[in-house]
Amino acid sequence: MADAQNAVLEQVRQYARETAMLESTQQLLEWDERTYMPPEAGEYRAEQVAYLAGLIHQRHTDPRLGEWLTQLAESPLAAEPHSEAGCTIRQMRREYDKKTKLPESLVKELTRLTVRGQQTWVVARKNNDFAAFAPVLGQIVALKRQEAEALGYEDCIYDALLDTYEPDEKTANVRRVLAALRDDLTPLVQAIAESDRAPKLDILKRIYPAAAQEAFGKEAAARIGFEFPAGRLDVTHHPFCTNVGPRDTRITTRYDERFFPSAFFGILHEAGHGIYDQGLPAEHYGLPPGKYVSLGIHESQSRMWENLVGRSREFWEFFFPAAKKAFSHALDDVSLNEFYFAINDVRPSLIRVEADEATYNLHIIIRFELEQELIEDRLRVNDLPAAWNEKYRQYLGIEPPTDADGVLQDVHWSAGLIGYFPTYSLGNLYAAQLFRQADEDLGNLPQRFALGQFLPLREWLREKIHAQGQRYTAAQLVENITGRPLDHKPLIDYLRKKLGPLYGLD
Ligand code: ZN
């Protein structure tokens, strides 16, 4: 009996590894499309990717797989949920259920509608014409409601959508933490806006040659522990990180010669994602014990290296001399203090993707609150721009002059991504809570950064998070490591401690 069950488990593992070969091939084709592919290759590439996607979907929903997983779920192999076998069975069963609950007609309709949604959105944003986008957005919201109903939920409909990106997380919990964060963050941001201190931002807008940025960025990424023998850095329009094999992690960036932070902190961010992917157990590649936990945990890794490490004073105590050499024209007359203040500039702004690490969360909270109202049918699509502007007034003290710079700025809703936004702020929250613990466990991390020692932190993250794969949910993982559930305090404490002295707040 036990032998038979072990044989079924091995069959499932082999099946998953083969599916992963198709998936990683698709990833590689998509990486190529966004980096080096000649423009005229697009049409055939779309066919290749669609064909592979079809094969992959068939494999994920194959009834044979469902039968094997049902057998295993009832076997003693599934009894210990955090073991390698228990984790594999639980997570594969979860994915199988999710993928087979959605009727094919709904999946097809959503794909068709979100392609049209994105095309309509591009034009509507360009023309500042929300009315042109509203009808298709209304249809997308209605279909996402159907999707949520098909997937099922216990407490509220938004749970079903959130669960796709942050498995097992609950809306009520995210609402509790983000509301507490909002209430503490709003007065902090307001006090900063009223401060008479401001950094000299022009120093970041001098000329920073792309080649020097690339060399300097690579040096920093390698120093913090991104392994270039198992990865690459290339140029793209919309930076991303992708994993195309157990020892093959590709990060990307774009260089703006007149604004230093965009590529440099972008590289640290993507390297943070990459370090997570490189730290997943290679022997379980394609299986749940070798996969990342959730988007929120993935984002916590990128945000930690980008912000808690990369924007710290100690990081620049180590790197500033090298930066002065690499960008001697731009930084010749700039002091470390001036540079440190400039890269930590905080101010209420309209555009999420350009926001600093403090106000960024308010942008997310606004979207999280509005998309819940939309999906619960408490807010009509036509009333969305007014509701958006009202929240920007309330939380950030500013009002978008146009819908293009307001409710039309993000691609997410047009692409059917509802329930995705909160994972960005979960990433910031997890990052701060985990970093505080790492600092406690390892002892004075910032002083190590000043000496150029970043590997102790990477090794700590590897052991505590990366090596765990999907053995625990994100919430369990954070509670196991820090001894308490997710809390907004570590993030707000970190922001106050850093920004208070810069802006002369009490
Ligand atoms: Zn990210």
Q: Compute the mean pLDDT over every residue in the chain, rounded to the nearest whole number.
A: 96
Do the strands 231-235 and 241-245 form a parallel or antiparallel pair, or are they unpaired?
unpaired
Q: What is the Å distance from ligand 1's center to 240 Cα?
A: 7
Beta partners for 245? 248
Query: Average pLDDT for residues 77-93, to the nearest whole number?
Result: 96
Residue 1 has pLDDT above 70, yes or no: no
Q: At what angle do helices 489-503 and 171-194 cross, to 10 degrees?
A: 10
Residue 467 binned pLDDT confidence (cut-offs 50, 70, 90): very high
Beta-carbon contacts of 230 under 8 Å, excluding residues fewer than 6 positions away, are: 247, 248, 249, 278
Q: What token pair was written down for 194?
A: 């009223």
Cα–chain center distance at 291: 15
Per-residue pLDDT at 149:
97
**Last residue of one domain, picked from the residues 153, 181, 205:** 153
Least Cα distance to 419 among 125, 170, 52, 130 occurs for 170
Sheet of 248-253: strand order equals: 231-235, 248-253, 241-245
* Ranges assigned E (strand) in 127-221: none
Query: Burial code of 94-114, b = ≥16 C-beta within 10 A, e = fewer?
Result: bbbebeeeeeeeeeeebeebb
**Structure-token pair, residue 144:** 């996402």
Whether residues 454 and 365 share a domain: the answer is yes
Q: Name the nearest CA neighbour of 360 among 348, 344, 372.
A: 348
For 244-301, the pLDDT digits (tens) are 999 999 999 999 999 999 999 999 999 999 999 999 999 999 999 999 999 999 999 9
Q: Which listed residue (23, 30, 147, 270) is catalytic?
A: 270
Token pair 């690339």: residue:
214
DSSP E strands in 197-258: the ranges are: 231-235, 241-245, 248-253
Distance 366 CA to ligand 1 centre (A): 19
Which tokens in the block code for residue 273? 């994602």
CATH code (residue 492): 1.10.1370.30
Looking at this protein, which amino acid is placed at residue 206? R
Phi, psi of 449 (to 5 degrees): -60, -40
Band of pLDDT at residue 506, cut at 50, 70 and 90: confident
Residue 375: CB atoms within 10 A of its CB come to 21
What's the pLDDT score for residue 348?
94
* Residues 437 and 391 placed together within one structural domain of the fold: yes
Share of the chain above pLDDT 90, in %: 96
CA 220 – ligand 1 centroid, Å: 18
User: Phi/psi of residue 244, each to 5°?
Assistant: -110, 20
Q: Token digits for 492?
A: 């707000």
Mean pLDDT, residues 142-154 taken together: 97
- The last residue of one of the domains, among 153, 187, 220, is 153
Q: Interior CA angle at 270 toward 269 and 275, to 5°? A: 100
pLDDT grade for 417, boundaries at 50, 70 and 90:
very high
- Across 7-44, b (16+ Cβ under 10 Å) vs e yields ebbeebbebbeebbeebbbbbebbbebbbeeeeeeeee
- Same domain? For 386 and 496 the reply is yes
Distance CA 87, CA 473 (A): 10
Residue linked to tokens 């808690």: 308
Q: Which amino acid is at 313?
A: R
Whether residue 436 is found in the same domain as residue 386: yes
Tell me the C-alpha distance between 113 and 64, whole Å: 31
Residues 380 and 244 in one domain: yes
Q: Is residue 271 part of a domain?
A: yes
Number of domains in the chain: 2
- Known active-site residue 270: yes
CB neighbours of residue 271 within 10 Å: 31
Q: Is 45 exposed, middle or buried (0-12, 13-18, 19+ CB in 10 A)?
A: middle
Give Cα 75 to chain centroid, integer Å: 35
Please give the distance, rounded to the nearest whole angstrom, from the Cα atom of residue 431 to the centre of ligand 1: 12
Distance from C-alpha of 112 to C-alpha of 91, rounded to nearest angstrom? 29
Residue 226 has which token pair?
């991104």
Residue corresponding to tokens 């959605």:
102
Same domain, 376 and 228: yes
Q: Are residues 122 and 175 in the same domain?
A: no
**pLDDT-based confidence at 2, cuts 50/70/90?**
confident
**346 closest CA partner among 459, 194, 453, 456:** 194
| Average pLDDT for 171-184 | 98
Domain extent, residue 39, equals 2-153
Indicate whether 350 and 398 sit together in one domain: yes
Establish if 127 belongs to a structural domain.
Answer: yes
Host H or E run for residue 174: helix 171-194
SS (H, E, C) 431-489: HHHHHHHHHHHHCCHHHHHHCCCCHHHHHHHHHHCHHHCCCCCHHHHHHHHHCCCCCCH
Q: Is residue 67 part of a domain?
A: yes
Within-domain flag for 412: yes
Are 143 and 179 in a shared domain?
no
Distance separating alpha carbons of residues 338 and 194, to the nearest angstrom: 20
Same domain as 486, residue 337? yes
Q: How far is the CA of 273 from the centre of ligand 1 (A)?
A: 7
505: CA distance to ligand 1 center in Å?
A: 30
Confidence of residue 159 (pLDDT cuts 50, 70, 90): very high
- CA–centroid distance, 427 to ligand 1, in Å, is 9
Ligand 1 center–CA 264 separation, angstroms:
14
Average pLDDT over residues 67-91: 96
Same domain, 114 and 196: no
Are 78 and 222 members of one domain? no
* 405 is a domain residue: yes
